[in-house]
Amino acid sequence: MNILKNTMLISLKIVTLLILAVPVLSTAAEEGDVARGSKAWANNCSRCHNMRDPKEFRDDGWRPIIAHMRLRAGLSGQQARDILTFLQSSNYTAPASSGSMTKVAESSGEDGETIYNNTCIACHGADGQGALPGVPKFSERLSKPDDVLLSNITNGFQSKGSPMAMPPKGGNPNLSDADIMNVLSYIRENLGK
């Protein structure tokens, strides 16, 4: 147990040094980011429990929950803000009457791969095989025509057997029709096999 004691003492000293250093190293807090938030959400929340659907709570409800989870999961403040932003962007339901997006955003000008890596990769994985339990492989879904897939991406969609629905536009309200077309083309060409 002496080894343990020494290890703990050294760890305490390291943490103390970190505590002293952090105020110096700290930078101004950034706003939350949807793309970073989706990744942090996918990588952290299911370490302990099943993924909760963003639609379970309103924007104001998620705020104290994420503060609580920041402590529980050992997240940084930035990760917590990113996850909160992602959840608050993902908890609305697109109106059923809307065949298109609820908010028409301008094209980001990004190519399909960039959009995929920023918005889709957290749940669908780099290889399109699904990074979370219940997220289907793209090869099982791309037989559907473009208009159906575009509608699913735009309005959100829950696959059979998936514990939760994909949020509208993957939780990124800034995606435009053109962005969604670009990312669908990228998925068809690169991840559909």
Partner 1 sequence: MDDTESLKARIETLEKQLSEVKELLKKQVETTATKEEVKAVKKEVEVAKKEVEVTKSQQDEWKFYDSTVHLGGYAQVGYASDDPANDRFNQVQYSPIFHYQYKDLILLESEFEVEIEGDGETHLALEYLTIDWFMNDYMALSAGKFLSPIGQFRQNLHPGWINKLPSAPSGFGHDQAAPVADVGVQLRGGAPFGNNMQANYAVFVSNGPILELNEDGDEIEAIETEGFTSDDDDNKLFGGRIGFLPIPNVEIGISGAFGELGLPGDTGDRDYDVLGFDLFARWRNLDLRGEYVKQEVDGFAGSVAEEGQEWEAWYIQPSYKLLPTKLEAVARYSDFDSTHADQDQQQWALGLNYLFSANAIAKFAYEFNDGLTGTDTDEDRLFLQFAYGF
List contacts with partner 1 (CB under 8 A): 1, 4-5, 7-8, 11-12, 15, 18-19, 22-23, 26, 29, 40, 42-44, 46-53, 56, 58-61, 63-65, 67-68, 70-79, 81, 130-131, 133-134, 160-164
User: Judged by CB, which is closer to partner 1: 147, or 160?
Assistant: 160
Q: Given CA atoms 81, 26, 69, 119 in this order, what sign does their dihedral have?
A: positive
User: Judged by CB, which is closer to partner 1: 85, or 182?
Assistant: 85
Report the nearest approach of partner 1 to the CB of residue 9 (Å): 8
**How far is residue 16's CA from residue 22's CA, in Å, rounded to a whole number?**
10
User: Judged by CB, which is closer to partner 1: 26, or 143?
Assistant: 26
**How far is residue 33's CA from residue 22's CA, in Å, rounded to a whole number?**
22
- Which amino acid type is present at position 115? I
Report the nearest approach of partner 1 to the CB of residue 87 (Å): 14
* Token pair listed for 77: 């403040």
Q: Which residues of 46-60 are buried (b: 16+ CB within 10 A; e: fewer)?
A: eeeeebbebeebeee
Report the nearest approach of partner 1 to the CB of residue 165 (Å): 12
Nearest-Å Rg of the Cα atoms of the chain is 20
CA distances to 61, 95, 154, 160 from 103, rounded to whole Å, are: 23, 11, 10, 27
User: Judged by CB, which is closer to partner 1: 29, or 104?
Assistant: 29
User: Judged by CB, which is closer to partner 1: 150, or 191?
Assistant: 191
Report the nearest approach of partner 1 to the CB of residue 159 (Å): 8
